Amino acid sequence: MAGKQWVAGFRSGVISPFEEIRLAEPRGFAGQTVRQALRLAGGGERLRVRLTNRYGRAPLAVGAAGVAVRKAGDAIVPETRHGLRFDGEGRVTIPAGGEVVSDPVALPVEAGTELALSLFLPGETELATYSHHPIELSHVADGDRVGDAELPEAEEVPSRFYVTGVDVLAPEGTAIAVAFGDSWFEGVGTTLGANRRSVDALNERLPRGWVVNEGIAGNRLLTEEVGEAGLARLTRDALTVPGATHVLVHLGINDLGLPGTVGLPPASAQDLVAGFTELAGRVRGAGLRVLVGTVGPFGGAIYPGVSTPEGLAARREVNAWLRGPGTEVFDAVFDSARAVESAEDPDLIRPEFDSGDGMHLNDAGARAMAGAVDLATLRL
């Protein structure tokens, strides 16, 4: 349509269910409907849904799919219900490793609209490609319940399955930023189902445009472990997101902390600096602005092996580079670490911002992290 363009209104970073390190248990389905909440960062006059079998080893049969405005929990607003079609068909089979985009749906939506996506999976699936810590519940019910207004007695599951995003038809020139990173974007530590992630708080501050969330808890910049490494997934999950004009980055904590859980040394500061430099060059080379957050404190992490003197020393060295020479590599640096770290011990999260595990932010901490982004440097 003249004067309109398809842009990302919602995104959800996904991982393989077959990884050795699991921060949430994967699962499959058999003759069941999965209904999941998708909160839009921005809206438009039409939408289309992106389904994925990215890490599947066998084709995935979707017997029916539908989208509606979510009322609460597993309930939808019935008059907003629309069946999804794929090349005109109500069923679709997604090949192993593949993805599909639905036909456009004439359902006007706006920022903050909560959609309910319902998928009927008629056969027995393998373990599902999933978002393991979306800080939102999905509902699973037996049979084809796609058209039902409610799913009484449905099982509640704190993961999201087979969906990577919703695109919306918005005015040309709509600016889209991609929050590309780890659990500090995905929202671990914030209130389940309350939409109080740092990305949500940042969207509340924006006078125009919006930010979609491609955070993956446990994700690393350099190493494939929990999700593909940041450098490996950058093109797919950030640079080619429809309408993307900016990329916000928060990575590094897991490169420094997670190796210690299996007795390995943390990434070196030199390797992280090289990785950040490569990432910035690739984003700028694609014609997008790139902003990076400093590496957050994790000295109080309760998880064995995460907090080590070597890892914390590397964090301080990387942050010194980001605050100094890194300001020339990136378009801007937002000091998320300084916004939430303790004045007495900068390796620790301030008590009022700590979710309780010494490594993640609560609702107030997520808001403080969002407040570290200077909107003048974001320039959406």
Q: What pTM was estimated for this model as a whole?
A: 0.95
* pLDDT tens sequence across 245-255: 999 999 999 99
* pLDDT tens sequence across 49-78: 999 999 999 999 999 999 999 999 999 999
Q: What's the rounded mean pLDDT across residues 168-187? A: 97
Does residue 284 carry a pLDDT above 90?
yes
Helix (H, G, I), strand (E, B), or coil: what is residue 323? helix
- Return the pLDDT at 105: 97
- Return the pLDDT at 134: 96
Distance CA 282, CA 288 (A): 9
Distance CA 355, CA 155 (A): 26
Q: What is the mean pLDDT of the chain?
A: 96
Helix (H, G, I), strand (E, B), or coil: what is residue 318? helix
The residue with tokens 């919602």 is: 10
- Return the pLDDT at 260: 93
* pLDDT tens sequence across 189-226: 999 999 999 999 999 999 999 999 999 999 999 999 89
* pLDDT tens sequence across 16-56: 999 887 788 899 999 999 999 999 999 999 999 999 999 99
Q: What's the rounded mean pLDDT across residues 257-266? A: 93
Does residue 2 carry a pLDDT above 80?
no
